[in-house]
Structure 1
Amino acid sequence: MSPALGNAIVTGAAQGIGRSIALRLASDGFNVAVNDIPEKSAELDSLVDEIRRKGRKCLKHEGDVSQDNTVKDMIEAVVGQYGSLDVMVANAGIAGPYRKKITEVTAEQFDQVMAVNTRSTFLCYKFAGLQMIKQGGGGRIIGACSIAGKKAMPSQAPYSASKFAVRGLTQAAALEFGSHGITVNAYAPGAINTPMLRAPAKSQEESDTMMERFKQMSPLHMLGSPEDISNLVSFLASKDSQFITGSNGGIFFD
């Protein structure tokens, strides 16, 4: 087996975009640690097997990444076994209550979405940044934003708020970590054909109608695939992206 390019962590990796990112990074030559909640254990096992068949090392780490100890333990395990953490992809996320007005969303629902989408991103950025600074060799930190982080989605206030917050976290981390050679970026996809996109539908007919509506919103009249996002993450994780943090070398953020 050829030497690894480095060691990466991907959270929320059991399905959809996270799974595609983990497989792409493994194909690129990274050892990859994959995370998701215990309910996704079987899906993680399948992913681990597939990554190892690519000739790369893979660690499975179940747990809720909105909790400090989960993130710290995961990073410590990767560094303990592989020697370093070079790429952190904070991908974990949920859509939360769908088609609910602000006046209908409970505080508990709001807190859950913010915990999974925003708090987990903060913790991944924080503890990955600390480890990369300690190592002294720079690194890549990548988060999951959304078009909802640029323009709010109707009847999805918690999700929109959480993704706007990810933009702020990403920009702040880019400013703070840049002097250490660590870039921080976030991908903000439109409609990607994943289980999370289809989850709100109550029937196959409703799902098909939703997908068609999303297609018509795109100038290309098509849905994105998880691979479209993992292609971008592959670039952001590479040495070729060394001048990209925020945008335009970090002078202007969007």
Structure 2
Amino acid sequence: MSKGLSGKVALITGGAKGIGRGIALRLAQEGMHIALVDLHEDKLKATQAEIEACNVKASIFVADISQLDQVTAAIEDAYSKLGSFDVMINNAGIAQVQALNDVTPDEFRQITDINFGGVLWGIQAAAKKFQTLKQKGKIINACSIAGHEGFAMLSVYSATKFAVRALTQAAAKEYAHSGIMVNSYCPGVVGTDMWVEIDQRFSKLTGAKIGETFKKYAEGIALGRTETPDDVAALVAFLASEDADYITGQSIITDGGMVYR
């Protein structure tokens, strides 16, 4: 068990499925109460039931994390329903596979509003709540190996993740005096719906067979297997715990050995 998590409250954006769901279940198993935020109410309710089966409390809130007022409302809802607010996990994000020459203004705005804007507003709203409560807190952001190395056909996606890494460093410096620690986790190739979409998009743009792009990237993993949401969740649980109280401003790669920094 990770140190100091039992009884605390974590809010997870994009918590209804994929990596977010994996993080939610891991933290629930550690004894944390979980506030789930997502756009999909049916999937939120399904994950809520799984969390409550761990004998902890769970709340759900439908919100668009690209909108500051909705992120702020989600935090207030979590605090009201669960009685505390200790860890903010800015997990929600989207992938976008597109040749650099063909990126449209609408595509640019969509991915930056969600992947970068969603993290910015999550950091800001969480920090303000921690400061209002006059307490320390943890903010943990979804970055990526693409925040350490840009990938072809994932140009703007990579740029948003580089931006998250920079924002993580800057926020850690700004909020350290308030006892707020800010870090990021950087997954590699995770077997979730997002990678199914990435693979399908690569197939459409490059002519690769379905499954070929996923296989190509997976074969480059030193540890010999693709990543699972549980692998990501293990790092997040550590960063949320008291064992990570002297770590801030870091974007930690958890990819099984793909990108080395």
Could you say whether these structures have the same fold, taking a TM-score greater than 0.5 normalized by the shorter chain as the test?
A: yes
Q: What SS class does the counterpart of residue 8 from structure 1 fall into?
A: strand
Aligned to 2:249: 246
- Under a length normalisation based on structure 1, what TM-score does the superposition of the two structures give? 0.90
Deviation at 1:42, TM superposition (A): 1.5
Q: What SS class does the counterpart of residue 188 from structure 2 fall into?
A: coil
Alignment of 1:112-131 (within 5 A): 112-131=110-129
Range with bigger deviation, 227-236 or 151-160: 151-160
Q: Give distance in 2, aligned partners of 1:127 and 1:84.
A: 15
- Under a length normalisation based on structure 2, what TM-score does the superposition of the two structures give? 0.88
Deviation at 1:214, TM superposition (A): 1.5
Q: Give distance in 2, aligned partners of 1:88 and 1:165.
A: 18
Count residues in correspondence.
Answer: 242
Aligned to 2:32: 30
Q: CA RMSD in A?
A: 1.8
Aligned to 2:194: 196
Q: Give distance in 1, aligned partners of 2:14 and 2:113.
A: 14
1:115 partner amino acid: D
Aligned to 1:6: 8
Asked whether the equivalents of residues 4 and 56 of structure 1 are also in contact (C-alpha less than 8 Å), the reply is no
Q: What SS class does the counterpart of residue 246 from structure 2 fall into?
A: coil
Aligned to 1:250: none
2:31 partner amino acid: G
Structure 1 segments, 4+ long, off by >6 Å, are: none
Deviation at 1:4, TM superposition (A): 4.7
Q: Give distance in 1, aligned partners of 2:28 and 2:225.
A: 27
Asked whether the equivalents of residues 6 and 30 of structure 1 are also in contact (C-alpha less than 8 Å), the reply is yes
Aligned to 2:93: 93
Gaps of 5+ in 1: 248-253
Aligned to 2:22: 20
The share of aligned pairs that are identical, in percent, is: 37
Q: Give distance in 2, aligned partners of 1:147 and 1:101.
A: 19
Higher relative CO (CA 8 A, sep ≥ 6), structure 1 or 2?
Answer: 2
Q: Give distance in 2, aligned partners of 1:209 and 1:154.
A: 16
Asked whether the equivalents of residues 79 and 85 of structure 1 are also in contact (C-alpha less than 8 Å), the reply is yes
Alignment of 1:193-232 (within 5 A): 193-202=191-200, 206-232=209-235
Q: Deviations over 1:94-133 (max 9, x none)?
A: 002x1x2222010110110001100000000001011112
